Structure formats: structure tokens, C-alpha cells
């Protein structure tokens, strides 16, 4: 095994070990009834996921569609505003304050307000865009400021225009931070879509969580929660691998 592969294996070992401990505790606590009927055993939850797989997959498809659309909108607005602030420096403080203000608005407050002014099916998309917007602005602003002083001075000495400086220096330097921001925003998007569905949506994982709580269908509640959690982890892991591969391939360009 090569040194990079061995290093990656050592980094993932604590995650695997911690996950195994968590899942083992869940199984033992549920089987022993440690928390009463509110926590079924992991095996019972897995069986419910298999039995209700069609329901969960249909709901997950809806939630993923909302998360993807809101994610694209949030990324586009966040990166666009941060890029504008980089080329028009006096706008940067205003953009950062706007992002911080939006991030400070609780989703629990935003949801009912959105339901009052738009169809319930659109609220999850808007909430995802709001939640994705802040990390992308922060990551992009940080990345656009990552170019070294020496490189900036070199572009200045050659009389590079603002547009050329942005295209050939600032934007390439921002790529690692931007990719990190996009990676971290993936689970945020899925969480935002699920929460947004709580406020009146008819389809998706959110309504299943609400109805299973109201009907005290605890096994379905945990099955839905585990489904969206595993999906979030898989998407995060996939994008992490893509980002790592891209940085290895283009990191020195």
C-alpha cells in the first residue's frame, strides 16, 4: 500500500470505528428497550426501510429534487455576489453583511413566512437556497482573497486590468475554497429541503416525518430519518472524493 493510500486509510479508521460504536449502541439500546418505544432497534429500523422502500424512495426523490434546485440557485447567487464584491471592492462589506443577516434568520421563522407568500411546494427550494447562500459567499470571498501578495504585485506591475486579474489570478486561487464550500453545502441543502417540507408540503421526506410523529409510527419515523441521513452522507462522501480528485489533478495548475 502506497503512503498516500495508507494515510487516507488511517484518517478514515476513526470514522469507521466511531460509526461502528454508534450503530452498536443503537442496536443494543433499542433491543433492550433502554429508551422505551421511542427508539426501535437498528435491525427493526432497517426492516422498516426494506418494507416501506417504495414510499421512502418516492419521498426521497422529491426531497432530492428540491434540494438540487435550491442548491444550484444558492450556489449561483452566492458565487455571483461574492465575485461581484471581489471586482467592486466597496461592495464586499455590504455582501458579507447581507450573507450574515440571511444566515441569522432562523429557518423555523422563515418557513411560515414563505408559506404565506408562495405555494408550499416552492418553500423548500427557497429555504435550501437561503441555507446554501451563506457558506458559498463565505467560501468564495475567502478563496478570492487567497492569492499571494507576490502574485498580486506581479499582475499590478504588468498593468493587468481588473477583469484579467480576476480571470487569471483571483478565480483560479479561489477554486479550492469554492469546492470546499460546495461540498459542505450538500448536506445543508438536503437538511433545508427536509425542514422546508415540514411547512405544508404534500410530498417528500418531511411530510413522512411529520405524519409518522403524529401517528406514532416510530419505526417509520426512524426509517425516514435514517434514509435521509444515509443519503446525505453518501452525497457528501461522493463530492468529497470528486473534490479531492480535482485538486490532485488541477491543484498545481
Residue 228 has pLDDT above 90, yes or no: yes
Q: Is 216 helix (H, G, I), strand (E, B) or coil?
A: coil
pLDDT reading at 249 higher than 80? no
Q: What is the pLDDT of residues 193-213, one digit of tens each?
A: 998 888 777 888 989 999 998
CA diameter of the chain: 73
How does 144-155 read in b/e, with b if 16+ C-beta sit within 10 Å? beebeeeeeeeb
Please name the residues in contact with 194: beta carbons below 8 A apart, sequence gap of 6 or more: 63, 124, 204, 205, 206, 209, 228
Nearest to 84 by CA among 173, 175, 170, 184: 170
When mean pLDDT is compared over 3-17, 37-51, 90-104, 168-182, the highest value belongs to 37-51
Average pLDDT over residues 214-231: 91
Instruction: Tell the residue number behind the cell numbers 447567487, with chain if given.
Output: 77
Mean pLDDT of all residues in the chain?
81
Mean predicted confidence (pLDDT) in 98-103: 80
- Is the full-model pTM beyond 0.95? no
Rounded Cα distance between 47 and 224, Å, is 12
CB-based contact 151:158 (threshold 8 Å): no
Q: Which residue has the higher pLDDT, 124 or 96?
A: 124
Domains by residue range for the chain, with CATH: 41-250 (1.10.3720.10)
Specify the pLDDT at position 152. Answer: 63
The span from the CA of 67 to the CA of 150, in Å, is 41
Res. 252 pLDDT band, cuts 50 70 90: very low
Distance of CA 211 to the CA centre of its chain: 25
CB atoms under 10 Å from CB of 123, counted, come to 27
Distances in Å between the alpha carbon of 169 and those of 29, 150, 156? 55, 11, 11
Residue pair 132/185 in contact (Cβ under 8 Å)? The answer is yes
DSSP class of residue 198 equals T
**Model confidence band, residue 35 (pLDDT cutoffs 50, 70, 90):** confident
83 pLDDT more than 70: yes
Of 42-46, 102-106, 119-123, the range with the highest mean pLDDT is 42-46
Looking at the predicted structure, is the pLDDT value of residue 233 above 80? yes
pLDDT, residue 209, reads: 92
23-58 in b/e form (b: 16+ CB < 10 A) is: eeebbeebeeeeeeeebbbbebbbebbeebeeebee
pLDDT of residue 250 exceeding 60, the answer is no
Residue 129, burial from CB neighbour count under 10 angstroms (0-12, 13-18, 19+): buried
Contact 193, 120 (CB under 8 A): no
Element (H, E) at 182: helix 171-197
Confidence grade of residue 70 (pLDDT, cut at 50, 70, 90): very high
Average pLDDT over residues 139-148: 74
Cell matching residue 207: 411530510
- Residue 210 makes CB contacts below 8 A (sequence gap 6+) with 198
**162: Cα separation from own chain's centroid:** 32
Q: What is the mean pLDDT of residues 128-133?
A: 91
Amino acid at each position: 500500500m502506497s503512503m498516500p493510500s495508507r494515510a487516507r486509510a488511517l484518517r478514515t479508521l476513526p470514522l469507521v470505528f466511531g460509526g461502528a460504536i454508534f450503530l452498536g449502541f443503537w442496536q443494543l439500546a433499542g433491543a433492550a428497550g433502554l429508551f422505551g418505544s421511542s427508539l426501535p432497534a437498528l435491525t427493526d429500523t432497517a426492516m422498516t426501510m426494506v418494507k416501506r422502500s417504495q414510499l421512502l424512495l418516492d419521498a426521497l426523490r422529491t426531497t432530492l429534487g428540491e434540494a438540487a434546485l435550491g442548491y444550484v440557485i444558492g450556489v449561483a447567487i452566492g458565487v455571483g455576489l461574492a465575485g461581484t464584491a471581489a471586482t467592486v471592492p466597496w461592495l464586499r462589506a455590504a455582501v458579507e453583511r447581507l450573507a450574515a443577516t440571511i444566515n441569522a434568520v432562523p429557518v423555523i421563522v422563515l418557513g411560515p413566512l414563505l408559506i404565506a407568500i408562495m405555494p408550499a411546494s416552492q418553500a423548500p427550494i427557497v429555504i435550501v437556497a437561503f441555507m446554501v447562500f451563506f457558506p458559498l459567499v463565505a467560501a468564495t470571498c475567502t478563496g478570492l482573497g487567497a492569492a499571494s501578495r507576490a502574485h498580486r504585485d506581479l499582475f499590478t506591475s504588468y498593468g493587468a486590468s481588473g477583469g484579467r486579474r480576476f480571470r487569471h489570478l483571483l478565480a483560479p486561487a479561489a477554486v479550492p475554497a469554492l469546492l470546499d464550500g460546495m461540498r459542505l453545502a450538500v448536506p445543508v441543502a438536503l437538511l433545508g429541503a427536509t425542514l422546508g417540507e415540514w411547512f405544508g408540503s404534500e410530498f417528500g421526506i418531511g411530510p413522512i416525518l411529520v405524519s409518522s410523529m403524529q401517528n406514532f409510527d416510530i419505526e417509520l419515523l426512524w426509517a425516514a430519518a435514517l434514509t435521509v441521513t444515509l443519503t446525505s452522507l453518501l452525497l457528501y462522501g461522493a463530492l468529497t472524493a470528486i473534490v479531492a480528485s480535482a485538486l490532485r489533478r488541477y491543484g498545481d495548475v
